[in-house]
Amino acid sequence: MEEIIKIEGGHPLRGTVRISGSKNSTVALIPACVLANEPVTIYGVPNISDVESLKVLLEELDVDVKQCDEETLYIDPSQMNNKPMVSQAVSKLRASYYFMGALLGKFGHVEIKMPGGCYLGPRPIDLHLKGFEALGATVQYTKGCYILDAKELVGTNIFLDISSVGATINIMMAAVYAKGRTVIENAAREPEIIDIATLLNKMGARIHGMGTSTLTIDGVERLGGCMHEIIPDRIEASTYLIIAAAMADTMRIENIIPQHVEAITMKLKEIGIQMKVESDAIEVYKTEGPLKPTDILTKPYPGFATDVQQPFTALLTRAQGQSVVTETIYTERFKHCYELNKMGADIDVRVPSSFINGNTPLTGTSVTATDLRCGACLVIAALMAEGVTEIHDVYHIDRGYEDLDGKLKSLGAVLWREEVE
């Protein structure tokens, strides 16, 4: 049996929605907690399936994990054991690779299966491995497992060929216990990296330069416990901003850091969306008539996030004329375009760009969420479409959006889940 989401389109949305804690922060913060030698309490944890997978992995390492309430996780790694990470949960979750940096930093040894997650084209982890080797680790790959060993990690200068978020976080985690100073040049600057570094510094790490392209980590001998609140999810916030732009009379999005979504709000204003930006909320108003076309080029933060180009594409089917989306980070991230075309869109994919010819009305049909953000794109398209849209492989959506059904229903959307053969 498979669970599907059915959405009846065309209903105007109104009301207030609250953004959950950042999925991309959470999946790195939880592995980072094992670097401590005392309990860590994290607030604002989103209720998503990726968190459930991470809890399973922690328990396999004998880490004590307690869900204190809906949004609070208590993690006590004081009795943990470093075991080979070869279970199914590793393959389900790309972010399980953060245990590489954490366990290498703490124990000097890791054995881990090749991590899983959404397929978005080649996403090599060679930058992570080069960083670990620069710190003094040896890397072997045998029978589908990475084995990393280091008698001692020693600080060094590391230049990342690409400013990769995953590599920056992973190397930073390995370096907190390394002897001496590690400098990461061309480090990624995403808000999630600042969030992880803030947690580590609260534990007693010495990380400087967060939010810049040069991170400096002075190794320490011990990390203690702390309390930490996760930043709001800027990708979820962007998704609801686009939902509001597509279908809202008036919609208020709360628990948002406007600076984190500036590239998105600027694009929305450019195509004709009206909004009011407050210190921790954004209100979006109904737009009459067709939108203006635009060109989008995905870039690392603070540029236009690759995770938002798919949801934004659904909205651009309403623009009068041709819009162009060029993907510079995951060049195969265009599967959503073929699904949108099934609904009546006119999109021509010529990698690394898609050409969206609007204004095209969308009609409900059967589509498949090929990955997490494709799923978000199809939800937006379904809300805009005439009739009922049936979305398959919704487990992708549940990996990254907390209580999507509940939040949308509270705004006036009509949707339900069904089990099908």
Complete domains list, the chain, with CATH: 2-20+232-420 (3.65.10.10), 23-229 (3.65.10.10)
Look-up of token digits 């993907």: 327
DSSP state of 97: G
Query: Is the distance from CB of 265 to CB of 53 less than 8 angstroms?
Result: no
**pTM assigned to the model:** 0.94
Residue set of the binding site for phosphoenolpyruvate: 23-24
Is 118 tagged catalytic? yes
Give the pLDDT of residue 123.
53
Closest CA to 105 of 35, 41, 20: 35
Give the pLDDT of residue 70.
93
Give the pLDDT of residue 116.
63
Closest CA to 325 of 345, 303, 347, 346: 347
Closest CA to 173 of 242, 96, 106: 106
d(C-alpha 327, C-alpha 335), whole Å: 12
**Strand, helix or coil at 211?**
coil
How many C-beta neighbours within 10 Å does residue 148 have?
Answer: 23
pLDDT tens-digit profile, the chain (421 residues): 999 999 999 999 999 999 999 999 999 999 999 999 999 999 999 999 899 999 999 999 999 999 999 999 999 999 999 999 998 888 878 889 999 999 999 999 999 987 765 555 545 688 999 999 999 999 999 888 899 999 999 999 999 999 999 999 999 999 999 999 999 999 999 999 999 999 999 999 999 999 999 999 999 999 999 999 999 999 999 999 999 999 999 999 999 999 999 999 999 999 999 999 999 999 999 998 889 999 999 999 999 999 999 999 999 999 999 999 999 998 889 999 999 999 999 999 999 999 999 999 999 999 999 999 999 999 999 999 999 999 999 999 998 899 999 999 999 999 999 999 8
Instruction: Give the pair of three-digit tokens for residue 59.
Output: 């328990």
Which residues in 16-53 are b (16+ Cβ under 10 Å) and which e? ebbbbbbbbbbbbbbbbbbbbbebbbbebbbebebbeb
Please count the CA atoms within 13 angstroms of the CA of 156 that sit on its side-chain side: 16
d(C-alpha 280, C-alpha 278), whole Å: 6
Give the pLDDT of residue 118.
55
Residue set of the binding site for UDP-N-acetyl-alpha-D-glucosamine: 94, 123-127, 307, 329
Residue set of the binding site: 23-24, 94, 123-127, 307, 329
Burial class (CB within 10 angstroms; exposed 0-12, middle 13-18, buried 19+) of 421 = exposed
Output the CA–CA distances (angstroms, integers) from residue 251 to 273, 284, 385, in the order listed.
12, 5, 19
The single residue of 118, 226, 337, 377 carrying the catalytic annotation is 118
In one letter, which amino acid is 60?
E
What is the chain's length?
421
Please count the CA atoms within 13 angstroms of the CA of 407 that sit on its side-chain side: 22
Closest CA to 132 of 164, 109, 165, 163: 109
Give the pLDDT of residue 114.
77
d(C-alpha 228, C-alpha 33), whole Å: 11
Helices (H), 367-410: 372-384, 395-398, 404-410
Give the pLDDT of residue 232.
98
d(C-alpha 16, C-alpha 203), whole Å: 35
